[in-house]
Amino acid sequence: MEEYLTLIAAALLVNNFVLTRFLGICPFLGVSQHLYNAAGMAGAVIFVQTLACGVTGAINQFILVPAGLEYMQTIAFILVIASLVQLVEIFLQRFSPPLYKALGIYLPLITTNCAIMGAAVLCADRSYTAVKATVFGFSAALGFALALALIASLRERLDLAQVPRCFSGTPIALITAGILAMAFMGFAGLGAG
């Protein structure tokens, strides 16, 4: 149990995919103007990354490694992730059209979100079981959601602040993300990952 708690803390805070590993920066900056859009993207990433890590972990553990086909990991992982994104897209289009419309181009970008692929590859490199990969994927996705919610909240407040014109928009978002990354580096003493 302690091993899983360490894994969760490391994925959520210590090695946050966005703020310490710099994976998933495109949706992090692109969807973080409003908290509503950020929450939708975070939910989609949590769902896709958790399932992707579980499924790719199982495929790796039970099919690729026993058959000596580890070199097929990238192709197999891309196919799994793309399929899961299509399922999320169909679900959102049917049950939440406003959220589907709000996410726009960023929903298909989950397919190429390096945070999701990075999580799957890290699980395979670390030889995680399917269960451990699922826990890691969920924890890392929660860390992504936390970072996304934080930056979206800050960017909404920055819209009301008097920011020098040369810093408005993306520059102040990058500066804010840098400060958040430094704050998350303070969690480095909690554990290794």
- Report which of 160, 177, 164, 153 is spatially closest to residue 33, judged by C-alpha positions: 153
**Residue 42, in any domain of the structure:** yes
Q: What is the pLDDT of residues 79-134, one digit of tens each?
A: 988 888 888 888 888 988 887 887 666 677 777 778 899 999 999 999 999 999 99
**Residue 191, in any domain of the structure:** no
**Residue 176, in any domain of the structure:** yes
Residue 189 has pLDDT above 80, yes or no: no
Alpha carbon distance 36, 50 (integer Å): 21
Domain of 109 in residue numbering reads as 2-182
Alpha carbon distance 136, 56 (integer Å): 12
Cβ–Cβ under 8 Å, residues 33 and 152 = yes
Average pLDDT taken over every residue of the chain: 87
**Residue 187, in any domain of the structure:** no
Q: Give the total number of structural domains in the chain.
A: 1
What is the percent of the chain with per-residue pLDDT over 70, rounded to a whole number? 95
**Residue 188, in any domain of the structure:** no
Cβ–Cβ under 8 Å, residues 133 and 151 = no
